[in-house]
Structure 1
Amino acid sequence: MKIKKQLWRAYTYSFLAYCGITQLWVIYLSQLGLSLVQVGLCESIFHVASFLCEVPSGVLADRFTYKRMLTLSRITALISAAMMLWQGGFWWFAISFVVSAWAYNLQSGTLEALVYESLKAEGQEADYPHATSVMNAMIEVSATGGLLLAGLLVHGHLAWSYILAVALAALAMFVVSQLKEPATHQPQTNHTTIKTIITTAWQVLQQDRGLFALMGFDAIFSALTTGFFYYFQQVMQVRHFPSWLITTALAGASITAIIAIRLAPRLLKHAKQRVLIGLAVMLCATFLLAALNTNTVLVGLYLLNYALSALLPPIFNVYYNDRIPSSQRATLLSVGSLLYSLAMIGLFPLLGWRIDHVGFAQTFSEAGITLSSLLIIGLALASLRRKD
């Protein structure tokens, strides 16, 4: 096996598979006549399907080769993108989101495993961290570039983003055909079942409420920032933002995310409670300021919200690693994913319903008032406990 060619093919696949060309799907579905409640339900359905398919996809990973898993992933991605081009109404799009969830699950972790086994076969597994950093860089460039290109297609041409997604999926399948299957394919000996995840979540709630609270904070915070990010697309559409402004806002969001990620190590030097309170205050302020409801303020808040969402993963990865034993890490991280899915399933359509009735600015300012009230009550209760 020529390892350099293998790696570059893997990097090319990651670039093609993770292109962000379809990230403006809220605008697209709104243009096709779906209400924001229906848009929110599509996202909820994606998370339900992804969670339910997590275990079956793990079983398939043991039965099939890495290449076949990646090929199946791109076939389902192609089908999902093609379905989005057919204006079949809410249930048609909901099925497309289910197929998209299959694509996500079939791909999750497969490429990384193929690269690791390829390096291991050549006795170069020590190069794996470098290989993953290159893959992540390719993914970031592709996701950002695709998103910026989609911004140029907003006004009446977003269907092209799905045509391009179909083409990218086909190209990715060709790249997969050029990959070499590693001689060793290590199957998982134990699969984390849905029952195990739910049982573990209940045990964590009873035995380590601090960890459960941390996961809950992460899930709700991430769901709210994700909601702000996606539903702001509707603001850009309703207020007729020109393409250059949309592209500038998207580019600015990427830059603020990079700055936020670089700030994460500095924040980790401070006490955990101070950091979490600071993040909560920043999120409350972001939502409360939405009440000003001017384009300039909302674009600025959009950038701040995106920065906060980018800041969360590197911080919480460290917090989780400090609290979770290695033997339980996979299962407990699945609990975190479950809580995030539940938060998205509940909050996303609720936010969409409220925006349909009172608008984006009032919805998130109300969310800010609610979060601020909960934060004040929480801090007051914590203060009383310390006095006791």
Structure 2
Amino acid sequence: MCWVFVCTFLQAEEFKLKIKKQLWRAYTYSFLAYCGITQLWVIYLSQLGLSLVQVGLCESIFHVASFLCEVPSGVLADRFTYKRMLTLSRITALISAAMMLWQGGFWWFAISFVVSAWAYNLQSGTLEALVYESLKAEGQEADYPHATSVMNAMIEVSATGGLLLAGLLVHGHLAWSYILAVALAALAMFVVSQLKEPATHQPQTNHTTIKTIITTAWQVLQQDRGLFALMGFDAIFSALTTGFFYYFQQVMQVRHFPSWLITTALAGASITAIIAIRLAPRLLKHAKQRVLIGLAVMLCATFLLAALNTNTVLVGLYLLNYALSALLPPIFNVYYNDRIPSSQRATLLSVGSLLYSLAMIGLFPLLGWRIDHVGFAQTFSEAGITLSSLLIIGLALASLRRKD
């Protein structure tokens, strides 16, 4: 009897050790795969001679490719193992980073962004599924929330650390960020080879097709205009804050910000984002309309103040813009969960992703074109005037409807 107890205990300890190794390998992969070392790509492409219109088109091409590849990548996820999907993701990430090192002109870089979109799609959700199935196989699926929180922490640390390191490489050494990205992709492939494929692999029974997403978007527009307006607000707000974040890199380059100032601004942005995320639960206690109007006013003010056009003001607005962009996801996740039935969540969230992609495809090159002609400060102050006008008109119309 004692021998049976000892064997059972040793077997349990062996299972615990295996799952710990599996989880730490997954955490290591998260750190390597999500490093933000290449986030200063706007500066890099500008240094290589691309106009901001071309830079914006590269980002648009990324979103088009990502959207079109979303369904095929889901089909591949059902046919291939999790490990193979992660390996393919890192191979495409390595190829994309290597292509960025070759100065082949706009179309060459555009193809690199397409390959990068493949890497993003192949990886999306795969690691999380592998970790969940690994825990489930050992009867420890209750530990999944903790595991995902650790993975997200690893991703945040890696993304921020990589971005700060890239800030030190800005002046003539940004190519090293892509050399490091190639090395990180290779290391991530090695880590994947050490992962254990779960015994169970649950394929998706239904894939959300592009036709389904577009049809659902039309139905939502007709049946629930409030939800569609919420998604549209989220998409445009996110696209504008993303545009401000990336195109501010051009300001740092043109005005010859020293490396220490760039790194300080990037570090400050990360700190303000953390503060903003911690404020989100407090904002959710207020009425939704008040929160949305408040966010819109803050964004308008951020863009309008860009007209002052001093380095100090623009850096401050950069921090505020980054905080607003970080504040949006936790707030809108709650809003969506309140309005979307569980059975429709996946499809309707895909509609939200579609609207964001469309906003990025349209706004990103448009902002780049305008900045090329009149500069960063005037472009975003004009955007602030436009948004303020739309906000005032919208509030006036809403007030008239309430009176009726």
Deviation string 1:200-258 (CA, Å, 9 cap, x unpaired) is: 00000000000000000000000000000000000000000000000000000000000
Separation in structure 1 between the aligned mates of residue 170 and residue 287 of structure 2, nearest angstrom:
43
Shift of 1:182: 0.1
Match of 2:32 in 1: 16
Separation in structure 2 between the aligned mates of residue 61 and residue 363 of structure 1, nearest angstrom:
42
Separation in structure 2 between the aligned mates of residue 321 and residue 160 of structure 1, nearest angstrom:
42
Separation in structure 1 between the aligned mates of residue 70 and residue 276 of structure 2, nearest angstrom:
31
Shift of 1:324: 0.1
Q: If the length of structure 2 is used for normalisation, what is the TM-score?
A: 0.96
Q: Tell me the SS of whatever aligns to 1:82.
A: helix
Shift of 1:362: 0.1
Q: Tell me the SS of whatever aligns to 1:246.
A: helix
Q: Tell me the SS of whatever aligns to 2:71.
A: helix
Separation in structure 2 between the aligned mates of residue 177 and residue 229 of structure 1, nearest angstrom:
36
Separation in structure 1 between the aligned mates of residue 275 and residue 142 of structure 2, nearest angstrom:
29
Q: Tell me the SS of whatever aligns to 1:57.
A: helix
Separation in structure 1 between the aligned mates of residue 343 and residue 135 of structure 2, nearest angstrom:
25
Shift of 1:341: 0.0
Match of 1:47 in 2: 63
Structure having the higher Rg: 2
Separation in structure 1 between the aligned mates of residue 130 and residue 124 of structure 2, nearest angstrom:
12
Shift of 1:360: 0.1
Shift of 1:196: 0.1
Shift of 1:348: 0.1
1:209 maps to 2:218: no
| Unaligned segments of structure 2, at least 5 residues | 1-16
Shift of 1:141: 0.1
Shift of 1:286: 0.1
Shift of 1:296: 0.1
Shift of 1:153: 0.0
Shift of 1:36: 0.0
Shift of 1:111: 0.0
Separation in structure 1 between the aligned mates of residue 300 and residue 21 of structure 2, nearest angstrom:
49
Shift of 1:330: 0.1
Shift of 1:188: 0.2
Shift of 1:159: 0.0
Separation in structure 2 between the aligned mates of residue 321 and residue 123 of structure 1, nearest angstrom:
28
Shift of 1:284: 0.1
Shift of 1:373: 0.1
Shift of 1:263: 0.1
Shift of 1:259: 0.1
Q: Tell me the SS of whatever aligns to 2:204.
A: coil
Match of 1:35 in 2: 51
Shift of 1:63: 0.3
Q: Tell me the SS of whatever aligns to 1:2.
A: helix
Match of 1:116 in 2: 132
Separation in structure 2 between the aligned mates of residue 181 and residue 265 of structure 1, nearest angstrom:
37
Separation in structure 2 between the aligned mates of residue 226 and residue 343 of structure 1, nearest angstrom:
11
Shift of 1:305: 0.0
1:69 maps to 2:85: yes
Separation in structure 1 between the aligned mates of residue 333 and residue 340 of structure 2, nearest angstrom:
10
Deviation string 1:299-322 (CA, Å, 9 cap, x unpaired) is: 000000000000000000000000
Sequence identity, in percent? Answer: 100
Shift of 1:377: 0.1
Separation in structure 2 between the aligned mates of residue 308 and residue 8 of structure 1, nearest angstrom:
32
Shift of 1:131: 0.1
Q: If the length of structure 1 is used for normalisation, what is the TM-score?
A: 1.00
Shift of 1:270: 0.1
Separation in structure 2 between the aligned mates of residue 103 and residue 229 of structure 1, nearest angstrom:
23
Shift of 1:325: 0.1
Separation in structure 2 between the aligned mates of residue 96 and residue 301 of structure 1, nearest angstrom:
31
Shift of 1:114: 0.1
How many residue pairs were aligned?
388
Separation in structure 2 between the aligned mates of residue 282 and residue 143 of structure 1, nearest angstrom:
26
Shift of 1:100: 0.0
Deviation string 1:146-185 (CA, Å, 9 cap, x unpaired) is: 0000000000000000000000000000000000000000
Deviation string 1:112-138 (CA, Å, 9 cap, x unpaired) is: 000000000000000000000000000
Separation in structure 2 between the aligned mates of residue 51 and residue 228 of structure 1, nearest angstrom:
23
Match of 1:303 among 306, 316, 319: 319
Range 378-387 or range 1-10, more displaced? 1-10
Separation in structure 2 between the aligned mates of residue 135 and residue 153 of structure 1, nearest angstrom:
27
Separation in structure 2 between the aligned mates of residue 169 and residue 331 of structure 1, nearest angstrom:
31
Separation in structure 2 between the aligned mates of residue 222 and residue 239 of structure 1, nearest angstrom:
26
Structure-to-structure mapping, 1:154-193, within 5 angstroms? 154-193=170-209
Separation in structure 1 between the aligned mates of residue 193 and residue 187 of structure 2, nearest angstrom:
10
Separation in structure 2 between the aligned mates of residue 340 and residue 13 of structure 1, nearest angstrom:
28
Separation in structure 2 between the aligned mates of residue 247 and residue 314 of structure 1, nearest angstrom:
26
Separation in structure 1 between the aligned mates of residue 18 and residue 27 of structure 2, nearest angstrom:
15
